[in-house]
Amino acid sequence: MNFDYRPGLDKIKPYSIEEKEWDIKLDANESPHNLPPLVRERVMNQFEYMAFNRYPDIGTRELRTLIAESFNMNIQNVQLGNGSSEIIMNLCQLFGGPGRSIVFPTPSFSMYSVYAQSSDSEPVAVTLNEDYSVPREKFLEAAEKSNAKLIILCNPNNPTGTVMPTEDIEYIVSRATCPVLVDEAYFEFYGESAVGLMEKYDNLIIARTFSKAYGLAAARVGYVLAHADVISMLGRVIKPYHINSLSLVTAEILYQMRDEFMPGLEQIIAERKRLAMALESISGIKVYPSEANFILIKTAKSKELAAYLSEKNIGIRDFSAAPGLINCIRFTVGTPLENDGLLKSIVTFMKEGI
């Protein structure tokens, strides 16, 4: 039959990645470490007692309480998502809609545009400066001109790794006439958060995830901190039981044991510095300063380099043809061994000009 789909879907570019069994997988900003052994043991043990026949706790009270307590907030200020992606989508459904716009940066996380469009909102992309710093005035102007109902910021920004000062976030939040969502998916690799501003501004929303620093990408759990009114309204767009019991239990244990992740986190940050320094010493490569668990580089031979790395079975994210990211490649910081493998291949390629 001639399927008559909802208008606008033709304009949405679905998320796609190259799925391959890479020898060195540095394409998805995942943690190179599986769960710490102690955490893993507790999780497996809990699965033994799980009531698989029962629906999950619909209020997800346990994990929300744990998160709220760690921020000195109330459970009414916390909501979970099936990955922070789901919660970002839910926020677009909550504030967007026909005739209403959602403002977000570009280049940044490609899903902001998809969620804006799939909620029938008008997507308004604000182009970052040449060095990927955030033009704060341009965000406010774009929001005002387009009748924005939500502004999204990403700090540190994916895929550039660059950050915006908290002062600039406050500048936007304090002047915006709509909520401002700060996506802090990579916060743990940076250490600075806008969460402290929430006391002062009730239009500030913060999103975090367990997928990156906590290496829980498989379980799909993220959360959002917001004014109690926003969290309450989110209940109208969230599916019941959107987080399964296995993921909930895993995230609960993980959050209680989050100190166990510190050594792994410190290693990634140290490796990021080492990788960046090594790459900077290679002529023909520009390295963007990163506060995340990945590094963006720019080189004239990016397409050839991406092909070479693929041939060496090293998975990276090739942005060389993406708007605002011409000649750029992003790779995740892996284990020291993986990073050595990546570096060796890049050095060989740049020297021999293959």
Ligand X SMILES: *Cc1c(COP(=O)(O)O)cnc(C)c1O
Positions touching ligand X (CB under 6 A) are 29, 83-85, 109, 154, 158, 183, 185, 209, 211-212, 217, 222
Least distance from C-beta 54 to ligand X, angstroms? 25
Report how far residue 196's alpha carbon sits from residue 186's, in angstroms, rounded to the nearest whole number.
17
Under a CB-based contact definition with an 8 Å cutoff, are residues 288 and 160 in contact?
A: yes
Tokens of 122: 């008008």
Among all residues, whose Cβ is closest to ligand X?
A: 83
The least CB distance from residue 216 to ligand X, in Å, is 8
Whole-angstrom Cα Rg for the chain: 21
* Residue 317: CB minimum distance to ligand X, A: 11
Nearer to ligand X by C-beta: 170 or 183? 183
Q: Length of the chain in residues, anyone?
A: 354
Residue 185 tokens read as 């998916």
Please report, in angstroms and rounded to a whole number, the separation of the first and last CA atoms in the chain.
50
The angle, 0 to 180 degrees and rounded to 10, between the axes of the packed helices 136-145 and 166-175 is 20
Helix (H, G, I), strand (E, B) or coil at 88: helix
Shortest separation between residue 329's beta carbon and ligand X, angstroms: 16
Cβ nearer to ligand X, comparing 22 with 104:
104
Q: How far is the CB of 293 from ligand X (least distance, A)?
A: 10
Helix, strand or coil, per DSSP, at residue 213: coil
Please answer whether residues 213 and 31 qualify as being in contact, where contact means their C-beta atoms are separated by less than 8 angstroms: yes
Give the angle 92-93-95 at the CA atoms, nearest 5°. 65
123/103 Cα distance (integer angstroms): 6
Of 217 and 278, nearer to ligand X (C-beta) is 217
Residue whose CB is less far from ligand X, 100 or 212: 212
Which of residues 154 and 287 has its CB atom nearest to ligand X in the complex?
Answer: 154
Closest CA to 103 of 148, 136, 164: 148
Shortest CB 181 distance to ligand X, Å: 10
Name the residue nearer to ligand X (CB basis): 29 or 106.
29
CA distance 248 to 55: 12
CA angle at residue 77 from 71 to 83, to 5 degrees?
A: 85
Residue 90 backbone phi and psi in degrees, to 5: -60, -40
Cα angle 134-15-297, degrees, rounded to a multiple of 5: 45
What's the closest the beta carbon of residue 154 comes to ligand X, in angstroms? Answer: 5
Q: Closest CB to ligand X among 222 and 334?
A: 222
**Least distance (Å) between residue 185 CB and ligand X:** 4
Instruction: Output 86 or 122, the one with its CB closest to ligand X.
Output: 86
Shortest distance, position 193 Cβ to ligand X, whole Å: 15
Specify the residue, 185 or 350, whose C-beta has the smaller distance to ligand X: 185
